Amino acid sequence: MAELAQWYVLHTYSGYENTVSASIMKARENRHMEDLILEVNIPLETVTEIEDGKTVTKEKKLFPGYVLVKMILTDESWHLVRNVRGVTGFVGSAGKAIPLTEDEILALGVEKRELNLGFQLGDSVKVLDGPLEGFIGTVDELDPARNRVRVTVSMFGRETPVELELDQVEAIEH
């Protein structure tokens, strides 16, 4: 059933994001709708500011006035969320809630995807694509968040590090 849940964006009064989030979670619990409303998220970013000559790290809302809700959209769940104080409506067209796409979810960093790369640091890989296609190298660095891998290949007798996308390499079976 949880596979049917999708992320929706709620528009709220600015400054009410935390209140709306807490209210949705409390209402979901009170009405025993944990199976319909799974998660509430307020996308934050960490920023460093200088205040009175001191460096201060703060969490700031990426989208003030918006809250993300992972839910299975039914009349009942829609009404629960829509009637929370501070919510002005779902983001969508003509009053219809439209879920976020997979790309939007990944871009927002709301959900982390489990990656099974088939290789790890120190493994030998073959380059599948690009100017180094066919070259064999060793994985030096992995950055799944940026979809990047750094591989050291031997070219003209020299070890050369190259940065590639994760799908440009594959593990070599030993």
Give pLDDT tens digits for 147-167: 788 999 988 889 989 988 888
Q: CA 137 to CA 151: how far, in whole Å?
A: 6
Q: What CATH code is carried by the domain that includes residue 33?
A: 3.30.70.940
Q: Which amino acid, residue 44?
A: L
141 in a structural domain? yes
Residues 151, 84 share a domain = no
Q: Is 40 exposed, middle or buried (0-12, 13-18, 19+ CB in 10 A)?
A: buried
Q: How far is CA 29 from the centre of its chain?
A: 25
115 within domain boundaries: no
- pLDDT digits 0-9 by tens, 126-145: 988 888 889 999 999 888 77
Task: Check whether residue 36 and residue 77 sit in a common domain.
Answer: yes
Residue 154 belongs to domain spanning: 124-171
Among the listed residues 48, 35, 38, the one whose alpha carbon sits nearest the alpha carbon of residue 6: 38
Residue 174 burial (CB < 10 Å; 0-12/13-18/19+)?
A: exposed
Domain CATH number, residue 150: 2.30.30.30
Higher pLDDT, 34 or 116: 34
Tokens linked to 96: 């219809």
Same domain, 65 and 133: no
Question: For the chain, how many structural domains are there in total?
Answer: 2
